[in-house]
Amino acid sequence: MHGCGSPRARVLGLLDAWLTDEQRQLPPAELSRFRVVVGSTGLLLVLNLLFLPAVAAYAPADRLPVALSVLVNVVCFGGVLGLVRRLRSPSLPAFLLCTCLSSVFILTTLVVGEPGTASHAATMLVPALTVYLLGPLPGLVFTAFFALNAVFFHELSHWILGRPHPVLVSEWAGVDSLLAGVSLLGGWVLNWLHRTTREESHAALEQALRTLRESESKLVSLIDSTDDVVLALDLEGRVVATNHVAKALFRAVTGRDFQPGLSLFELSPPSLRTLFRENTTRALEGQRLKVETSLPLEGRTRTLEITFNPVWEGTRVVGITIFSRDISERKEAEARLEEMHRSLLDVSRHAGMAEIATGVLHNVGNALNSVNVSADVVVQRVRGSRVVGLERAVELLRENGSSLGTFLTEDPRGRQLPAYLEALSAQLQQEREGVLEEMRRLGESVDHIKSVVSMQQKHARFSGILERVEVSGLIDDALRLHAVALDRLGIQLRREYCSQIPSVLVDRHKLLQILVNLVSNARHALLESGRQDKQLTLRVERAGEMLRIAVADNGVGIAPENVPRLFTQGFTTKKDGHGFGLHISALAAEEMGGGLMCESRGLGQGATFTLELPITA
């Protein structure tokens, strides 16, 4: 775009002043041809008008032809200018201009007696004008007539009309005429090459512009189709491009319509100006930034994620693009997910506590059965004790205390009393040993109850705290909770531990919960299998920086299609299962930096659950 006061702008303004409004709206190529026709015709008209006073300087014989030639030029060129305003296409005025110029010029060279007129420098206008206005082929026709005139017609007319300079009277005159014709054809060639090159460049430019417009249209469509806010800023922080989402957001925040060219800091609400200023400054230094901020909008607080990207041109930053999206729903979903995760952890803990409590109550119940049996045996033995016989013997001795010797030697009851006391003593000793045995068993059962409860209290006390745990001891604790059930079912227990089991830094409660759950699942799988050689194997081995704990059984096994779903919440193969155990165990394993996996060769082939834990937390 040129300034309004520049010479080019003033000249174009003068040329366009002669054109109609409709002509000024034509494509650039047609408008340029109209301007050249108006400019060339106007210039020739002015030159001819200025030449009229100089006609008097000609010889009397040439004065009238020259004057007539100039008047014809004025009439022709004025007619062309008048015709220009009536037509939408410049083709006819351009043809008339070239025809008038060629005819008058050739006619003038024929009637004027001066030598060299046909090779005047003004003739070079013909190839330039005709090629530009009419095209290469019509331009060649006009140029060929001028070349023939310079080489042949001009000198021939002089010879026919008896001019003082007949044809080829001078060797140099012939050479000049020939050079003039060649120069005219050379001018046509140069203009043709220029036009061809210009057309090719124009076509390439048009193609590039068309491609650019298509790309720009696609880019604008793409930017407008996104739900994100898109802004483009210049180095001064002014908005140079945006999409409809940004305009809608600006209208919602400020209540005004968006005006391009304004500063981002003027457009943004006061709460965001400092944020925008700091981050745009850093983006102009070449940094790519992503920030989150809150903005009150439509009666609620919205969370926005804003990205500042520098726009590079070579090695320097020439602008900034800003992308912003509303992530309120994502933040709310993350908060809900976090809440669900916490709830699931609570369910996990409760389920684990229920699983452990079930084992505790089961073992305590079995121990209480033993306590009841031992107590009943003691009561029955005390009730059937021979102490009553001892009381009777003592009564006989008391009654015969004054004649005890006579009673023991002469009385039949007295003679039997020593033997009776000896038998009674043996019987009471036997009863005493039986009662002590039952009391010992009773004490063991009570100790077992105390051990189970104490172990549960020990694990519950340290729940949620990371500590160094001896894995073998914790496995024994998990097995002890199922000890009675495993013995009652006749399950053969095998331990395959590596020579040196490293301790792991974990939450004792979570690890115990997983182990109890895995042993419980294996026990149920063995119970459902109905096989006689029930076998439960626990393996502990080190694999690099991980510790692997495997719980394997030869129970009912797992169908291949169910293996990928085992750790999904709510999925279970048990009739009375809730689908939480393995899912919760898998989550707990991930929280401890490990993982829980399952392998099974199919139904009836048993299953192996492997827990991996990092040795170094």
DSSP string spanning 142-158?
A: HHHHHHHIIIIIHHHHH
Where are the chain's structural domains? 7-206, 226-326, 333-458, 465-614
Q: Which residue has the higher pLDDT, 414 or 278?
A: 278
Say what the pLDDT of residue 167 is.
44
What span, in angstroms and rounded, lies between the C-alpha atoms of 508 and 264? 56
Kindly give the interhelix angle for 125-134 and 28-51, rounded to the nearest 10 degrees: 150
Q: Which of 295-299, 325-329, 489-493 has the lowest mean pLDDT?
A: 295-299
Q: Which residue has the higher pLDDT, 203 or 600?
A: 600
Listing DSSP states for 112-133 in one string gives: ---TTGGG-GGGGHHHHHHHHH
Mean pLDDT of the chain: 78
CA distance to 77, 307, 612, per residue, from 344 (Å): 96, 34, 21
Say what the pLDDT of residue 553 is.
93
What span, in angstroms and rounded, lies between the C-alpha atoms of 198 and 193? 8
Q: Which of 197-206, 333-342, 412-421 has the highest mean pLDDT?
A: 333-342
Q: Compute the average pLDDT of residues 344-373.
A: 66
Q: Are 133 and 102 in contact (CB under 8 A)?
A: no
The answer on pLDDT for 158 being more than 80 is no
The answer on pLDDT for 148 being more than 80 is no
Name the amino acid, one letter, at 536.
L
Confidence band of 24 (pLDDT split at 50, 70, 90): confident
Q: Compute the average pLDDT of residues 71-89.
A: 85
Q: Which of 28-42, 347-361, 422-436 has the highest mean pLDDT?
A: 28-42
- CB pairs under 8 A, 24+ apart, for 30-39? 30/89, 30/90, 33/90, 33/94, 33/132, 33/133, 34/84, 34/90, 34/93, 36/94, 36/129, 36/132, 36/133, 37/80, 37/84, 37/90, 37/93, 37/94, 37/97, 37/133, 38/81, 38/84, 39/11, 39/15
Say what the pLDDT of residue 549 is.
93
pTM of the model: 0.38
Say what the pLDDT of residue 168 is.
45
- Percentage of the chain beyond pLDDT 90 is 4
Q: Are 34 and 84 in contact (CB under 8 A)?
A: yes
Map residue 306 onto helix, strand or coil: strand
Q: Which of 138-142, 367-371, 458-462 has the lowest mean pLDDT?
A: 458-462
Question: Vertex 369, ends 366 and 374: CA angle to 5°?
Answer: 130
Structure tokens at 493: 């227990």
Say what the pLDDT of residue 304 is.
82
Q: Are 323 and 306 in contact (CB under 8 A)?
A: yes
What span, in angstroms and rounded, lies between the C-alpha atoms of 266 and 277? 11
Confidence band of 617 (pLDDT split at 50, 70, 90): low
C-alpha radius of gyration, the chain, whole number:
58
**3-state DSSP helix/strand/coil percent for the chain, to nearest 5?**
65, 15, 20
Say what the pLDDT of residue 127 is.
79
Q: Which of 124-138, 225-239, 294-308, 445-459 has the lowest mean pLDDT?
A: 445-459
The answer on pLDDT for 382 being more than 60 is yes
Q: Compute the average pLDDT of residues 120-137.
A: 77
> What b/e sequence results for 64-85 when a residue is b if at least 16 CB atoms lie within 10 Å of its CB, and e otherwise?
ebbeebbebbbebbeebbeebe
Say what the pLDDT of residue 550 is.
94
Strand order in the sheet with 316-326: 239-242, 229-233, 316-326, 300-313, 289-297
Contacts of 365 (CB under 8 A, 6+ apart): none
Please state which CATH class domain 226-326 belongs to.
Answer: alpha beta
Say what the pLDDT of residue 281 is.
87
- Percentage of the chain beyond pLDDT 70 is 81
The answer on pLDDT for 611 being more than 90 is yes
Say what the pLDDT of residue 355 is.
61
Please state which CATH class domain 465-614 belongs to.
Answer: alpha beta
pLDDT digit string (tens) for 305-349? 888 989 888 888 888 888 888 888 888 888 888 888 777 777 766
Question: Vertex 270, ends 267 and 276: CA angle to 5°?
Answer: 65
pLDDT digit string (tens) for 164-179? 544 444 555 566 667 7
Closest CA to 510 of 352, 313, 363, 401: 352
Length of the chain: 617
Say what the pLDDT of residue 358 is.
64
Confidence band of 2 (pLDDT split at 50, 70, 90): very low
Structure tokens at 322: 């800003």
The answer on pLDDT for 534 being more than 60 is yes
CA distance to 17, 89, 114, 416, 536, per residue, from 93 (Å): 17, 8, 31, 167, 107
CA distance to 226, 241, 254, 279, 610, per residue, from 229 (Å): 8, 11, 16, 16, 49
The answer on pLDDT for 374 being more than 90 is no
Confidence band of 466 (pLDDT split at 50, 70, 90): confident
Whether 465-614 and 226-326 are alike in CATH topology: the answer is no
Q: Compute the average pLDDT of residues 12-28.
A: 85
Place of tokens 């001891």: 473
Q: Compute the average pLDDT of residues 251-274.
A: 74
